[in-house]
Amino acid sequence: MSEFDFDLFVIGAGSGGVRASRMSAAYGAKVAIAENKYLGGTCVNVGCVPKKLLFYASHFREDFENAKGFGWNTTIPEFNWKKLIENKNQEIHRLNEIYRKILSDAKVKIISGTASLKDKHTVKVNDKEFSAKHILIATGGWPMIPNIPSKEHIISSNELFFLDELPKEIVIVGGGYIAVEFAGILNGLGCKVTLIYRGSLFLRGFDQDIRCFLANEMKKKGINLLFETEVNSIEKNENQYICKLQNGEEIFTDKVLYATGRMPNTNGLNLNAIGIEEAENGAIKVNDYFQTSVPNIYAIGDVIDRIQLTPVALAEGMAVAKNLFKGESKKVDYTNIPTTVFSQPSIGTVGLTEEEARDKYDEIAIYLNDTKSLKHTLSGSNERSLLKLIVDKVSDRLIGFHMVGSDAGEITQGIGIAMKCNVTKAQLDSTIGIHPTMAEEIVTMREPAR
């Protein structure tokens, strides 16, 4: 009989934690998982899934308008925010129950409550203690709200998903993908949106051509972009909030959403007391096999702040399960991870930006295609798309792909597979395109732009 209650105790039932726990159980381990909020974590409850549902909803207004060019005599119907949120909540509840069933079917013990570490082999949940040979921390991240006067007037993306009413006007502060995505969503649903960012251009770390192109497209859709601007304080009058800017201007609005980053969710875990090392931003330090400075305790997902994407957390959870209970030495390959920003229009990206490629390679070729989709030749929309290929001239390999346009995420997934297989520009050129599609532009760009 084991000296421990469990072979593995997982703290956090988000995507990574659930994957690690159920796969460990499938490999024969006795597993428990503790969660103090909701099964499925950020992605299922206040992240990817509900955001994508709102993203779908926000497109109908534009689609109704575009339909006129195709002969449809339409008026824009009335939008019901409460109905959307009600339906979204039902879907999230369904997914919560699916996660519960997945864990139960795998014989993983689900423990509801806030977990903390008593020592390197003991987890305390509520008033009970559980011993475990291995412990995995998968507690994710949490929105970070800066300390400014009247910060109690601010909401984060978490609260936005549960608003009783859709605001007529909203100020969004931030320059990351969450800020950009909600600017497009709320604008599409009929809000007057002002996006404020302290930097010169949003989406720092993305390819410069893509950032500039998207900013222009968002302006065309009526989103007010204020760069190199900061909010000093927020006040409230009878009806609205007043954002007082650093330059002396004031913006009156119904809601103020801060999307200024997320921080590792480690509060209350008692990490310092047992010697688990953290980075300056609070992220848990791990090695290539996700071991912390306490060898039997592991961490994955947003709490280690490597790449904050659900599929990455899933891969990390799978690696931990295989290493602990199948005797493997599996690492996660973080190169060429395709991702998308559900902006409007969307971004798809995989591989190096042009700036990164110029630092890493001696000679590169850049292929660009700024185009209007066939749909918008009749719709009347002035939306355009941009596709960009970055090629290492020595090896002819595609080392970067970036796109702004409809279905960018769907297209980028396929390019991500090709880049994992070291696809070359010559191979792209030899591929016959599917006509007429936006994706065919990838295999028809012949002459480098620079």
Domains in the chain: ranges and CATH? 6-142+263-325 (3.50.50.60), 151-260 (3.50.50.60), 339-443 (3.30.390.30)
The residues carrying an active-site annotation are: 435
Percent of the chain at pLDDT exceeding 70: 100
User: 418: closest CA among 438, 442, 394?
Assistant: 442
pLDDT band at 2 (very low <50, low <70, confident <90, very high): confident
pLDDT at 147: 87
H or E segment and range at residue 445: none
Rounded Cα gap, residues 77 and 380, in angstroms: 19
Do strands 122-125 and 115-119 pair parallel, antiparallel, or not at all (unpaired)? antiparallel
Q: How far is CA 121 from the centre of its chain?
A: 33
Q: How confident is the model at residue 148 (pLDDT cuts 50, 70, 90)?
A: confident
Whether residue 345 has a cis bond before it, omega within 30° of 0: yes
133: confidence class by pLDDT, cuts 50, 70, 90: very high
pLDDT of residue 76: 86
Q: Strand 347-351 and strand 339-341: pairing? A: antiparallel
103-112: pLDDT as tens digits: 999 999 999 9
Residues 6+ apart with CB under 8 A from 404: 210, 213, 214, 217, 343, 345, 346, 347, 385, 386
For residue 1, pLDDT over 60 is answered with no
**Angstrom distances, CA of residue 192 to CA of 91, 182, 259, 382, 387:** 28, 12, 17, 20, 29
Tokens found for residue 285: 């330090």
- Residue 223, helix vs strand vs coil: coil
**Could you tell me the two tokens for 360?**
């890493």
| Whether the predicted pLDDT of 435 surpasses 80 | yes
Tell me, yes or no, if the pTM score tops 0.85. Answer: yes
The residue-averaged pLDDT of 65-83 equals 94
When mean pLDDT is compared across 84-93, 143-152, 427-436, the lowest value belongs to 143-152
Q: What is the mean pLDDT of residues 224-240?
A: 95
302, 12 contact by CB (below 8 A): no
Nearest by Cα to 92 from 165, 16, 37, 32 = 37
d(CA 359, CA 367): 18
